[in-house]
Structure 1
Amino acid sequence: MGVAAVAAHTAERLKAPADEQSLLISAAELARQSKPAPASAVPQSASLTSPADPGMGELTGITPVAATTPPAGGDRCRPEMELSALPGAMIQLSLAAPCNPGERIVIRHSGLSFSVRTQGDGHASVTLPALRSDAMVAVYLQDARLVLGKVTVPDVSRYSRFAVVWELPAELELRVTDGDRVLIGSPAPVMADEQRVIALGSASVQSPVLARVYSVPGPGLGKADITGELRITPASCGRTLRVETVYSVAGIATHAERAISVPLCGTTGDILVLKNLAPAPKLAAPK
């Protein structure tokens, strides 16, 4: 059956109503195929473009993610995900993973990544901004399973969004200054306020992946001054850190990776200001 069978099966699942469908690829399912699908068969939004996350192993696509161990407990442990479109081009994600209580999961959508923890019953409910109208969302579980879902978000074309994603030891905050308004990340977005910075991810999980998303209505980011504030700590001083950015306009998302050279140790406690994050960062002296 091979690649064609896997692709056909995935396509059939995604033809159903977008907000009711999810796809789980497990090692047991892949073992029934005559050969594994190559990484290029994975939608870009479901692949980790960065080096392996120390908390998740070699997560570079469906095959290495799912080929580690078969799911335990049979169908009882099968995760289910529901996606629905909300006003303001937002996505509501509801995950039921009964065999993954209180565990770290990574959510990824069109280059945007962040980690959260499931509740004690294995459920998780997350609201995230859409970066594409045909939004595919991937959830990576700790037991080497991957859940994929797709939802249509028609009003994403009304917004422009800029996201920054980082992992420890980086400690970053996105700051947007527009006239007399100063916006920083808020974990509880207010739907009535369409210009905002949305904070995503939990810093309390192991190997946290965090993100900030600046969202504004219109065909561009306007004249707002977008900067990043990187705190210099003993863990980050003298290192080159990797920060990922995603720019979405009219439902088209562009992903990039930035390398940031942190000053040598001795400036711990200072803040390194990253100017002109969109489209490229420039470093200023610590303040």
Structure 2
Amino acid sequence: MLQTFVLQKKGIATAAGTLTCALAIGFVMQSTDTAQQRYGVAGNAIPMVKTIDASDPANSLLDVQAIKLTSAEFSSGIEVPQSDPEVVKVASPKSVLPEPVLPTMEIADACTISAVAQPIAAAMVKLSMEAPCLPNERVTVHHNGMIFTETTTFNGTLDLTVPALATDAVFIMAFTNGDGAVAQTMVEDLADFDRSVLQWKGNTGFQIHAREFGAGYGETGHLWESAPGEIADAVTGNGGVLTRHGDTNAGDPLLAEVYSFPSDTNGRSGIIALSVEAEITEANCGLEIEAQSLEVLGDYSIKTQNLTLPVPDCDEIGGFLVLNNLLQDLKVAAK
């Protein structure tokens, strides 16, 4: 049973209520009612991704078919005696004008969607996509069970830094019209990091809080949305880092937070306390909100938990719900 607390601005009160938490270990994208409702994906199916084939005329913005080049037939109105021996028949000269240039498939080529994934420090991946014909469009990024939505720029590009959840990291970027792209790369240093993910849909107020080695709220070592830490610290082993993914300005977005800790280069021993919190706001008070946690295990399998959380009524606005055991605390040893 998950422990749930309501933190008020003045004091702490235990919240009554039962949380429904279904556990599935190993297989990513388990088929559950919660997952289907949140992500709109049936079971563990991956959305169909279609890339534009520039060689197929059906994909061209300009469809040119059955063009015929003809020359006009006309009479000069002058009769030429066929039997007159003074008349010499000659072939008409070849035109010196250049042949007309037919439309090519360059327009279709310009609309091709492409994506590249490149491993960088701290077991992160630099993800880039070009979709020139899909500017300012919603796109959903899928990676090993983690899902979040972004929006392309005015010229149809997308540049992200995403924590890897697998050494053989595959990223799927899918548009709402079914188009998309796939990028893949190897992330050799993933084994050097502990990684925990929380993901949800919409403005539900969820947050990961990591308190490293006994740090209290607001102290050095307490990482959360307003104090996420630095990737440089995760690279050097000085501390963890919290990253948030997804466009909060998109309509009903899918969002994710990822906590990463450099367990292989850390110089301290102790406990990192991980909790999930949700602020009670006008947007979620009196409702049931849902989230999913993903944790990368030692064998690179993914442990998932689905959460349905009843939020107290609106007279509790300003408080926080605290879940202390949705994410497993990390026990780390000095290296």
State whether residues 71 and 77 of structure 1, in contact with CA within 8 Å, keep that contact through their aligned partners in structure 2.
no
| 188 and 272 in structure 1: CA distance in 2 versus 1, 3 angstrom threshold | closer
Letter matched to residue 260 of structure 1: L
Map 1:45-124 → 2, pairs under 5 A: 50-51=35-36, 58-60=40-42, 61-62=45-46, 73=61, 74-124=108-158
| Aligned mates of 1:75, 1:52 — CA distance in 2 | 37
Letter matched to residue 285 of structure 2: C
* Corresponding residue for residue 262 of structure 2: 217
Among 179, 183, 191, the residue aligned to 2:231 = 191
Gaps of 5+ in 1: 1-42, 281-287
Gaps of 5+ in 2: 1-26, 51-57, 62-107, 216-220, 235-239, 330-335
Among 203, 207, 223, the residue aligned to 1:173 = 207
| 145 and 132 in structure 1: CA distance in 2 versus 1, 3 angstrom threshold | same
Among 251, 255, 272, the residue aligned to 2:304 = 255
State whether residues 246 and 253 of structure 1, in contact with CA within 8 Å, keep that contact through their aligned partners in structure 2.
yes
Among 231, 249, 253, the residue aligned to 1:204 = 249
State whether residues 228 and 275 of structure 1, in contact with CA within 8 Å, keep that contact through their aligned partners in structure 2.
yes
Q: TM-score with structure 1 length normalisation?
A: 0.71
Among 263, 286, 294, the residue aligned to 1:238 = 286
| Aligned mates of 1:93, 1:261 — CA distance in 2 | 36
Map 1:257-276 → 2, pairs under 5 A: 257-276=306-325
How far is the alpha carbon of 1:214 from its aligned partner?
A: 0.8
How far is the alpha carbon of 1:185 from its aligned partner?
A: 3.2
| Aligned mates of 1:241, 1:149 — CA distance in 2 | 32
| CA root-mean-square deviation | 3.2
Larger radius of gyration: 2
| 71 and 140 in structure 1: CA distance in 2 versus 1, 3 angstrom threshold | farther
Asked which structure has the greater RCO (Cα within 8 Å, sep 6+), the reply is 2
Letter matched to residue 326 of structure 2: L
Q: TM-score with structure 2 length normalisation?
A: 0.61
How far is the alpha carbon of 1:187 from its aligned partner?
A: 9.9
* Corresponding residue for residue 40 of structure 1: none
| 125 and 112 in structure 1: CA distance in 2 versus 1, 3 angstrom threshold | same
The DSSP-based 3-state class of the residue aligned with 2:314 is: coil
| Aligned mates of 2:59, 2:295 — CA distance in 1 | 36
| 213 and 62 in structure 1: CA distance in 2 versus 1, 3 angstrom threshold | closer
How far is the alpha carbon of 1:205 from its aligned partner?
A: 1.3
More helix, by proportion: 1
| 188 and 235 in structure 1: CA distance in 2 versus 1, 3 angstrom threshold | closer
